[in-house]
């Protein structure tokens, strides 16, 4: 006999409600029981859509990442990456209680990561180097935002200056790729 699923309950609705609950109560207070109550279902009903709390956490992280506004394609790589990083930072700072989910589930797919790779490949990096450069940029954003959430005063100006430094390194890698030299990262 097939398992019946509650009607109206979707992965996107569960993720959105989980994020709303985390934004209010924080990750430490979050539970599937509370989420089920918020949605008007038993907590076990959530497991039809997310077989584990870890997969639910990944779903919330993916929802957050999908909220990052993607810049237009007509920008140069540096402007595109800068705008995307600032958009990502703004999204993360709007959800500080959910931020650990972004750190635990870094972007490896989705519109943001695919856009970063596309822009970097168009600038001259091969696919593997473009993905590596995107991961480096994302690691900087994650670390910078984590520091900003913990101690905003200590991090004043770090984000913008750090972007320049990261992008200068990527620019050198792009130039090396154009010169057919081995990658330096």
Query: Smallest Cα–Cα separation from 92: which of 142, 54, 166, 24?
Result: 142
Give DSSP secondary structure letters for 22-87. Answer: HHHH-TTT--HHHHHHHHTS-HHHHTTT-SSHHHHHHHHHHHHHHTSPPPPTTS-HHHHHHHHHHH
Mean pLDDT of all residues in 114-126: 95
- Does residue 16 carry a pLDDT above 60? yes
> What confidence score (pLDDT) does residue 2 get?
42
> What confidence score (pLDDT) does residue 5 get?
44
- Does residue 136 carry a pLDDT above 90? yes
- Does residue 153 carry a pLDDT above 90? yes
Mean pLDDT of all residues in 16-43: 94
> What confidence score (pLDDT) does residue 141 get?
94
Question: Number of C-alpha atoms within 13 angstroms, CB side, residue 156?
Answer: 2
| Mean pLDDT of the chain, nearest integer | 90
> What confidence score (pLDDT) does residue 105 get?
85
Q: What percent of the chain has pLDDT over 90?
A: 83
Mean pLDDT of all residues in 28-54: 92
Q: Which tens digit of pLDDT belongs to each residue from 154-179?
A: 999 999 999 999 999 999 999 998 88
Q: Read off the pTM.
A: 0.85
């Amino acid at each position: 006999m097939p398992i019946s699923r509650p009607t109206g309950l979707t992965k996107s609705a569960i993720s959105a409600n989980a994020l709303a609950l985390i934004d209010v109560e924080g990750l430490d207070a979050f539970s599937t029981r509370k989420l089920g109550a918020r949605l008007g279902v038993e907590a076990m009903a959530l497991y039809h859509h997310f077989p584990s709390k870890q997969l639910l956490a990944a779903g919330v992280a993916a929802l957050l990442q999908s909220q990052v506004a993607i810049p237009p394609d007509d920008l140069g790589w540096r402007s595109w990456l800068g705008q995307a990083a600032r958009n990502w930072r703004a999204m993360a700072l709007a959800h500080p209680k959910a931020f650990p989910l972004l750190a635990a589930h870094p972007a490896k797919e989705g519109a943001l990561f695919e856009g970063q790779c596309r822009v970097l490949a168009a600038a001259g990096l091969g696919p593997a180097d473009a993905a590596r450069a995107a991961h480096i940029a994302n690691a900087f954003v994650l670390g910078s935002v984590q520091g900003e959430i913990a101690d905003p005063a200590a991090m004043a100006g770090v984000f913008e200056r750090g972007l320049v430094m990261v992008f200068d390194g990527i620019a050198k890698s792009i130039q090396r790729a154009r010169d057919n030299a081995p990658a330096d990262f």
